Structure formats: structure tokens, C-alpha cells
């Protein structure tokens, strides 16, 4: 058997008719006989393209409201027969089964239907049975048959046919078969995940068909690929191609800014917010966020939850930064920001993120619910004799939103809806607090009258002792230590207020 096979017949069964006319006319030009199903047959013949209906081959009409059209031995025999097997040749001749050398399918849009309706009956009807069976059969018999499993591959088939005058090689057919199993496995994964929404079956199964190769990974010697559709999350308005590290920071920035409704600007460095402020205007918020830590802001990621206007653009333009993300940009602001060709400017799209996250770990994958919890004042557990004032309570909530997004161990110091100091990624909570105080003082902030948030409980009273010496007046922490009473006692003795949330916010 030669690996070069000339296509003589094709079966076309497609949901979407986009692009199929050009493909069918090309098949006709090479003298390839076309078989097609109901809707596809009507479309092709309506365009003046010669085709034979499946019904005339099987002598059975489409039944059950279109649920059964191609599921017949005369169709699958024509696809699956092995041209070099004598018994298969005898069966084909005996039962007068027409040979099919090319199968072209475009499946029912199950995934799109799930995304656009909650109607279970409509969704179920979009589970393709015949089409997926045709794809698998043709892919299995790739040594003899070409399979085109989706409209995205029409151009590849056209290129192959035109280049080789209707002839395919074994390598061509095997590549199309690989695409076919990619399409079918993704399709089945979407169906499984729909039926397993309540996670009755505890397995990890994900399929992401869109891939974007990165220039490199976390470091230049590491290869990397992003799987997903970035255009759904943001629109890039300017700048160079995003890197692996850029994407990690962009994700952290977008997740973080979602905590705030008032005009807020955050500056992110290596996924950690190093400058945050909420103000009446974005301009004021940016200036105060930058003041938090202007050193770390260099080369960072800036994100704002509003429209970037000319006034804030002029200020931002004075800073060297990697990426700016906002809900929108005024034209004159963009002109200013585009003055540096490599700056990445992203317009954030409205997008609902998954509530779950996963990553590779050891010899498998670990999956968990995202930390979606944002505490409210009504949930405070008042554990000290003095309660925080209304102003302090608001500041504690603000602090807790930030501490949730910093690497553990972490401590945050806040004054008037502005981050004034933070310590993160430390091996002890005491070190994180000392780092926060040093950072605040280094950039001219007084910690007197500030509030403090911790991502986890205090195992000893040392943190509230150090905080009191720095002038902190109110504390928010999860609580839960066997020595909570020591921290509470110290706060009572030194007129500090402290609230527990019962919620830990570790981040690794």
C-alpha cells in the first residue's frame, strides 16, 4: 500500500455552512464525488454543487427529528474499510457499500449553546452523536481516510488538496486524525463537565483548545505556552507581546482590583500589590498609590478601575512601567501613553472568571475553590473591650482586602484608604510586620493611628506588641490561635481594638 492516496469521494456533514461552498467546489474541481446529509445536501445543491444524499445511499430517511441520519453500516462501512484487507474488500463489494475517502464534519455547537442558554433540553439536543461518530471512525482509519473535524481546518485541507492535486500522504492523514481526536476529546470534555456540574464524579478534566506560545517562561531558558483566549479578558491597545511573567502579574492585578468599587489604583510587582489607594478621583488615587512605594513601582503593573483621562495619563507617563490596565481610555490619554512603543496598554473587558483554580503539583494537579471571601463589618467578632470606630472599621476592611492578595506571611498597614506599609512572603509574621513598618517609615509615612491586617492568626502576642509601639490603633486578623487570649489581653491593656474574622487568607 502506497502512503499516497488520491481522494475520490467525500462525505460532508456540517452544522455551520460557513466556508463549505468554497471547499465543496474545490472537491468538485478534482472530480471528487460528494455525499452529504439533509441540511448540507440542500445547501450544496442549492448552490449548484452536485451531491448525493445520504438517504439515497442508506435507503433510510433522517428519523427521530434528525437525531439519526448517518448512523448506518453503509456509511460507516464506507469509512472504516481497510483497503488492503481482502475480507474488508469482499464485504464492501458484497453489500454494495460506497467507499468514502474524506470526511468533513462541523459539530453541533454544544459549548456555545451552554454559554448562551440555561435551557437543558436545548443544550441536550446540541450533543452531536452522528458527527462525533463520523470523526472517530475516519480518524481511526487514517491510513486510508482523511478527516476534517471542524471548520477551522478547511483552509488546511484546501492547501493540501491544491498543493498535491487531490492527493494526500500518510503524514497528512495522520495529522488530520490528531486534530480529529483533539476536537472529539474537547467536545466530550465539555459535555462531561456540563453533566458533572455538581461534581458527583470526582475527577479532574479540563480542555482548552486555544494556545498562545510565549517568548519564554518565567526565565529565558524556560519554554512556555498560554492556553486560553486572552481576547475575552482584555483588549491590547498598545505595546509589545505579553510575556509569561506579564500574564501572571496581569492576572493578579485583575483579581485584585475586583475587590474595590470606589475609584482605586493599584500598583503590582511580582503579583504583590505594593501601592494601593482609593480616592474620589483616579488621579488622586494614582498619586497616593505611587507614594506608597515609588521604588517598587518602577517597572510594575498599574491597574485602575475606571477611565484613564488626560490628567492621570500625564502623571503615569512620568513613570517607567510595564503594563497599564483600565476599564477604558480617552483618546488624548492614549496618545500620551503610546509615546513609549514597548508599553503594554490593556483595556479590561467584562469577563466572569472561574471560581476554581488549579496548578500542577508533584505527579498530578491540585484543584481548589478560589479565595472569594471578602469580609464585611457586620461579620466582625469584637474580642477587645474597645471596639474600632466607624472610620477604623472601614480601614480594617480596606486592609483585609489587600492582605488577602499578598504572599504569606503578610502584614498590611493602612491609613485613610491608602496602603502605607506591607510585609509579604516572610517566614515569620513578626518579620512581615517589621518589614511593613520599615517600608512605611522609609517613604515618609507615620504609622501612628494606622490599622493593621494579618492574613493569619498571631501565635503569640509579639505582633500586637510591636504594632502598638508603632502607633497602630486597630487590628483585624482571623483569630484561632491557642494563645489568642494573650493578644487580646495586651490590646485591652494598651487601649487597642481588635476584631476577628474567622477567615484565614493564606496565599502561596
Q: Which residues are catalytic?
A: 140, 270
Cα–Cα distance for residue pair 302/201, rounded to 1 Å: 41
Task: Name which of 298, 301, 260 is nearest 399 in CA terms.
Answer: 260
Cα–Cα distance for residue pair 196/189, rounded to 1 Å: 10
| Residue spans of alpha helices (H) in 258-389 | 282-292, 294-297, 310-316, 331-337
Residues ≥6 apart with Cβ < 8 Å to 313 = 329, 330, 332, 333, 334, 336, 337
Judge whether 98 and 35 are in contact, CB under 8 Å: yes
Cα 138 versus chain centre, distance: 32
Helix (H) or strand (E) holding 269: strand 264-269
Cα–Cα distance for residue pair 188/353, rounded to 1 Å: 22
Neighbours of 405 (CB within 10 A): 25
Beta-strand pair 9-14/102-106: parallel
Cα–Cα distance for residue pair 294/316, rounded to 1 Å: 12
Cα–Cα distance for residue pair 76/314, rounded to 1 Å: 67
Amino acid at each position: 500500500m502506497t502512503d499516497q492516496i488520491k481522494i475520490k469521494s467525500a462525505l460532508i456533514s456540517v452544522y455551520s455552512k460557513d466556508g463549505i461552498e468554497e471547499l465543496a467546489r474545490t472537491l468538485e474541481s478534482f472530480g471528487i464525488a460528494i455525499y452529504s446529509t439533509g441540511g448540507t445536501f440542500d445547501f450544496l445543491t442549492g448552490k449548484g454543487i452536485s451531491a448525493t444524499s445520504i438517504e439515497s445511499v442508506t435507503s433510510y430517511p433522517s428519523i427521530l427529528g434528525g437525531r439519526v441520519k448517518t448512523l448506518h453500516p453503509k456509511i460507516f462501512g464506507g469509512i472504516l474499510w481497510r483497503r488492503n484487507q481482502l475480507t474488508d474488500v469482499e464485504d464492501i463489494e458484497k453489500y454494495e457499500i460506497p467507499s468514502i475517502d474524506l470526511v468533513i464534519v462541523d459539530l453541533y455547537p454544544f459549548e456555545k449553546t451552554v454559554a448562551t442558554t440555561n435551557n437543558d433540553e436545548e443544550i441536550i439536543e446540541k450533543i452531536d452523536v452522528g458527527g462525533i461518530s463520523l470523526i472517530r471512525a475516519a480518524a481511526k482509519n487514517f491510513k486510508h481516510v482523511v478527516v476534517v473535524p471542524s471548520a477551522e481546518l478547511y483552509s488546511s485541507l484546501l492547501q493540501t488538496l491544491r498543493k498535491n492535486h487531490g492527493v494526500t500522504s500518510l503524514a497528512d492523514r495522520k495529522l488530520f486524525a490528531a486534530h480529529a481526536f483533539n476536537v472529539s476529546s474537547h467536545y466530550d470534555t465539555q459535555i462531561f463537565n456540563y453533566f458533572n456540574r455538581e461534581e458527583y464524579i470526582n475527577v479532574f478534566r479540563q480542555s482548552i483548545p486555544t494556545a498562545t506560545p510565549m517568548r519564554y517562561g518565567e526565565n529565558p531558558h524556560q519554554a512556555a505556552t498560554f492556553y486560553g483566549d486572552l481576547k475575552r479578558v482584555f483588549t491590547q491597545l498598545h505595546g509589545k507581546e505579553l510575556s509569561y511573567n506579564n500574564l501572571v502579574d496581569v492576572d493578579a492585578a485583575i483579581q485584585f482590583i475586583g475587590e474595590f468599587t470606589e475609584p482605586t489604583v493599584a500598583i503590582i510587582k511580582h503579583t504583590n500589590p505594593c501601592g494601593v489607594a482609593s480616592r474620589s478621583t483616579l488621579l488622586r488615587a494614582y498619586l497616593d498609590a505611587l507614594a506608597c512605594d515609588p521604588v517598587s513601582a518602577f517597572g510594575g503593573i498599574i491597574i485602575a478601575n475606571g477611565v484613564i483621562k488626560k490628567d492621570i495619563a500625564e502623571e503615569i507617563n512620568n513613570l517607567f512601567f510595564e503594563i497599564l490596565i483600565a476599564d477604558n481610555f480617552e483618546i488624548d490619554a492614549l496618545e500620551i501613553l503610546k509615546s513609549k512603543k514597548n508599553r503594554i496598554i490593556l483595556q479590561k473587558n467584562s469577563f466572569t472568571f472561574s471560581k476554581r483554580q488549579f496548578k500542577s503539583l508533584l505527579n498530578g494537579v491540585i484543584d481548589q475553590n478560589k479565595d472569594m471571601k471578602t469580609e464585611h463589618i457586620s461579620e466582625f467578632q469584637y474580642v477587645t473591650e474597645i471596639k474600632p470606630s466607624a472610620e477604623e472599621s472601614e480601614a480594617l476592611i480596606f486592609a483585609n482586602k489587600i492582605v488577602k492578595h499578598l504572599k504569606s506571611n503578610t502584614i498590611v498597614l493602612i491609613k485613610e484608604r491608602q496602603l502605607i506599609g506591607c510585609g509579604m512572603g516572610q517566614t515569620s509574621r513578626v518579620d512581615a510586620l517589621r518589614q511593613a513598618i520599615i517600608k512605611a517609615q522609609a517613604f515618609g509615612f507615620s504609622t501612628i493611628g494606622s490599622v493593621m491586617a494579618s492574613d493569619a492568626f498571631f501565635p503569640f502576642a509579639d505582633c500586637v506588641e510591636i504594632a502598638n509601639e508603632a502607633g497602630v490603633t486597630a487590628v483585624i486578623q482571623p483569630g484561632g490561635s491557642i494563645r489568642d487570649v494573650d493578644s487580646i489581653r495586651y490590646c485591652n491593656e494598651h487601649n487597642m481594638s481588635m476584631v476577628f474574622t474567622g477567615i484565614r487568607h493564606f496565599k502561596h
